[in-house]
Structure 1
Amino acid sequence: MLLKKLDEELNLQQAALRIRSQRQELLASNIANADTPQYKAKDIDFKAAMQSAMQQMSGKNPIGQHAGLLQQTNESHLNAVKTNSGDTLYRSLVQGSVDGNTVDMDVERNAYVDNGIRYEAGLTFVTDKLKEVMAAINGNGS
């Protein structure tokens, strides 16, 4: 029972770290393409991606099926690009630009730093949990 609970916690953290890692890559790409004409800033809806991952872990939403997948209802709408852990969405335009680029550097930098801090917190949680398990196995626990 204890091992099952630990496994569930670590699986949840693994999913969160995977999604955060993918999001970090997208945010870095947005920053790198800040001066690229017609580049559309992308992001992942972390909450929706985690809900999807949790449903997949519980078996309620088999891999490959995503609840609430966005549909293109007009040919001028942008398509969402499917990833393993959620949908990559195009960020809403905050301020228009002459070249059609939708990257807002303030938004991107803030999201990048926030996501990085949350990724590090997730790593710290996993590391601490594994240290607890090792201490219990070695008999050094309190």
Structure 2
Amino acid sequence: MKLFSNSFTNLERALDYSSLKQKVISQNISNVDTPNYKSKDVSFKEMLAHESGTGLKAYRTNQRHFDFNGSPSANGVYTRNNMQYNHNGNSVDMDKEMSDLATNQIYYNALTERISGKFQTLQSVIKGGR
């Protein structure tokens, strides 16, 4: 009999993703004035493929559809190319980074509340519903 479902594992992986995204956003913000710094992002698709051990396959039914053949690194972090916002070659857009930071914070808070609820449910079961 399986005691726990995969929900704890899935929530843990989601927290790992959110933590990595937070680090990448913080790195981008800290390098906003660094000449020729290229901003980075985290690819959820690549992290999912890395965690599941198999790559995601997609078949294009039309040539205008997006191609899913990317080559980000195994941990899902990749450099955004073809972007330049500053005269010194830096591609960090501070407004986008702050927006991503707020979005990631909301996502992280929702995950922590969900995992806290799971533990409270377990605690209630252990105590016999009291």
Give the shorter-chain TM-score range: 0.7 to 0.9
3-state SS, counterpart of residue 77 of structure 2: strand
SS in structure 2 at match of 1:120: helix
Q: Residues 20 and 104 from structure 1, CA distance in 2 versus in 1: closer, same or farther, beyond 3 angstroms?
A: same
Q: Which runs of 5+ in 2 are unaligned?
A: 57-68
Relative to total residues, which structure has the larger helix share, 1 or 2? 1
Unaligned runs of 5+ in 1: 56-60, 71-79
Is the contact between residue 16 and residue 50 of structure 1 (CA under 8 Å) also seen in structure 2? no
> How far apart, in 2, do the equivalents of 1:2 and 1:140 lie?
21
Shift of 1:4: 3.8
The CA RMSD measured in Å over matched residues stands at 2.2
Question: What secondary structure sits across from 1:39 in the alignment?
Answer: coil
In the alignment, does 2:117 pair up with 1:128? yes
Matches within 5 A, 1:18-57: 18-53=16-51, 55=52
- Change over 3 Å in CA distance of 1:4–1:129 after alignment to 2: closer
What SS class does the counterpart of residue 37 from structure 1 fall into? Answer: coil
Paired letter, 2:89: G
The CA deviation string for residues 46-70 of structure 1, in whole angstroms up to 9 with x for no partner, is 24423542x2xxxxx27xxx66661
Identity %: 29
Q: Which amino acid aligns with 1:109?
A: M
In the alignment, is residue 104 of structure 1 matched against residue 102 of structure 2? no
Q: 1:37-86, CA deviations, whole angstroms, 9 ceiling, x for partnerless residues?
A: 01111110124423542x2xxxxx27xxx66661xxxxxxxxx4442xxx
TM-score using structure 1 length: 0.72
TM-score (norm 2): 0.79
Q: Structure 1: how far apart are the matches of 2:84 and 2:37?
A: 14
Q: For residues 86-134 of structure 1, what are the alpha-carbon distances to aligned partners after superposition, in whole Å with 9 as ceiling and x for unaligned?
A: x211124555321110000011000011011101110110000110011
Q: Is structure 2 residue 13 aligned with structure 1 residue 15?
A: yes
1:88 — aligned with what? 77
Q: Secondary structure at the match of 1:43?
A: strand
